[in-house]
Amino acid sequence: MAVCARLCGVGQSRRCRRRQRNNQQDQCSDSDMDEEEGERIVGQRQAENTGPPHPQSLAELPPELLVEIFSLLPGTVLSNVALVCKKFRQILNTETIWRRRCMEEFGMKEDLRNIEAGGVSSQDLYTKRVDPRLKSGRFVKVLPDHDHEHMDYRDVFTRLLHPYRHILGLWQPDIGPYGGLLNVVVDGLFIIGWMYLPPHDPRVEDPMRRRPLFRIHLGESKKATVECMYGHKGPHKGDIQTGKKDEFSTKCNQTDHHRMPGGRQEEFRTWLEEEWGRTLEEIFHEHMQELILMKFIYTSQYDNCLTYRRIYLPPSLPSDLLQPGLFKGTYGSHGLEIIMLSFHGTSARATKLTGDPNVPAGQLTLDVNLSRPMVLPELEQQRSIEELSRLVLGIHEEVQVSGSASESEGMDVTEHGACADSSQSAPTTSTTTSPPEVQPFILPMGVMARNEVYPRTCRKCFYGTGLIAGHGFTSPERTPGLFVLFDEDRFGFIWLELKSFSLYSRLTDQLVHAHAPNMERFEAMLRNMQSWTS
């Protein structure tokens, strides 16, 4: 009974009833706390439900976020985005989007309100110098026909950069055997076609010279205008036609701007000063005078219309002997010419981008066998052309034998291996040893060089062949010679039969939109180049 009474709260023990009342109070406080927590959670959920709803589609995103998203899209799809809805069309009027597209797709880096092109203001961009007698170049500054302050990035992208994107990059003009190198770039508010010219002979290590041939810009009506830059009367009307893939043509509509008051004689003197940096009286070699006059007569036929074909820079591999690319080299009376050095397995090849009546542009001027290294003799022996000829011709005979053996059918492989072994055990055994890192170098007596200043040490030497031919590319043949690697930016070639030395120096200009997509496309381009001039 006592137990039951205590459990019911009516027993004799007063302490039990006090304990019971405390327990009841604790239970009440716990229940109150649970109710408050529940009310707080419910209140938070209600507040969340009353806030802004989550976007259910792209159109419901904030405008600043849409601007960032559209800035990441290629410019070619933005016109389709504008068709989705009125909001997208309005947002696509934001300059930030088109500015980013101009910068990332075409390399435009400056602000349109403070733009510069090639170090000079685009308001002052390149026209022909009226006074051709000045030696500082025939191109100076001219104000464009419109105020660039009214331009916006969308007009520049949609009406200038995008329509003419296919002509950006490197091109070779079709000027018969002479060829050339054209680089079409975005330069400020213009697309400019720069013709690259070698430095004046024989300063092979000087920087390249540039001459603008045409430019494209937006006029007052915001339409793309093509202007020819050739001549002495300033920019004038021109035209560009893009028919075939990787090919386009330029045409001048006002050829009278190319003529000079003094007639052909004044035009020739001006051209000679630009091309060679001297007058005809200063050129004493009669054969060189004939070559110069022949080039002027031939190339002046193309001052009103030219066709260009796309070329690529060669791909680079870690195993390459040096960085492939463009070089300028000395070619005797023909002056300086531009070549492209590329690597193909155990072979290094130099292809002409500019040429001459003997070996035209597009031909393989040098073919170096990287599997045939050579160690030069002592410095005193290098002065003897006979010693160098003995070493090079020894390897040349080996290559001829091995080449004819690989083409023959039914011959015993072991016999040819013995032949190769016996030939390597001859006096040319020193050429097969691994060369030192740096070797002293000097030209043999009797070898002519256009530039007397050349490196006196070299890294490596290899056997190679050079292409020579008569006038008009008659009787072409490959003649043995020595390829000499001086450093990453210079190499040379000794033409044994001609007793001549060519020094090559790297072209250091930054060339954008010019790299080959892959090796297959590059090799196909080389084959096409040879067919253009063969």
How far, in Å, CA of 422 to CA of 433, rounded? 16
Task: Give the tens place of pLDDT for each residue, 32-46.
Answer: 555 566 556 555 655
Residue 278 pLDDT: 76
pLDDT tier at 436 (50, 70, 90 boundaries)?
A: low
C-alpha triplet 133, 134, 139: angle, nearest 5°: 105
For residue range 487-530, list pLDDT tens digits in order.
999 999 999 999 999 999 999 988 888 888 889 999 999 998 88
More confident site: 272 or 47: 272
| 294-323 average pLDDT score | 89
pTM of the model: 0.76
Give the helix/strand (H/E) hosting 8: helix 2-8
What share of the chain in percent tops pLDDT 70?
A: 75
Q: What is the DSSP string of 463-509?
A: EEEEEEEETTTEEEEEEEEEEEEEETTEEEEEETTTTEEEEEEE---
Other beta carbons less than 10 A from residue 104's beta carbon: 13
Residue 49 reports pLDDT greater than 90: no
Q: Judge residue 234's burial from the number of C-beta atoms within 10 Å of its C-beta, 0-12 exposed, 13-18 middle, 19 or more buried.
A: middle
Whether pLDDT at 3 is above 80: no
| pLDDT tens by residue, 234-271 | 888 999 998 788 899 999 988 888 888 888 888 888 88
Residue 408 pLDDT greater than 70, yes or no? no
| Residue 455 and residue 487 in contact, taking contact as beta carbons nearer than 8 Å | yes
- Report pLDDT digits (tens) over 332-389: 889 899 999 999 999 999 999 999 999 999 999 999 999 999 999 898 899 999 999 9
- Give whole-number Cα distances, 317 to 342, 346, 368, in Å: 10, 13, 17
Query: What is the model's pLDDT at position 326?
Result: 96
Mean pLDDT (whole number) for 405-417 = 47
Give the pLDDT score at 20. Answer: 52
Q: 244 with 270: CB under 8 angstroms?
A: no
The predicted model gives 457-480 an average pLDDT of 94
Whether residue 131 has pLDDT greater than 70: no
Share of residues in the chain with pLDDT > 90 (%): 37
Find the range with the poorest average confidence among 101-115, 425-439, 470-484: 425-439
Q: What are phi and psi of 344, to 5 degrees?
A: -135, 85
Q: Are strands 247-252 and 305-311 parallel, antiparallel or unpaired?
A: antiparallel
Query: What confidence score (pLDDT) does residue 158 get?
Result: 87
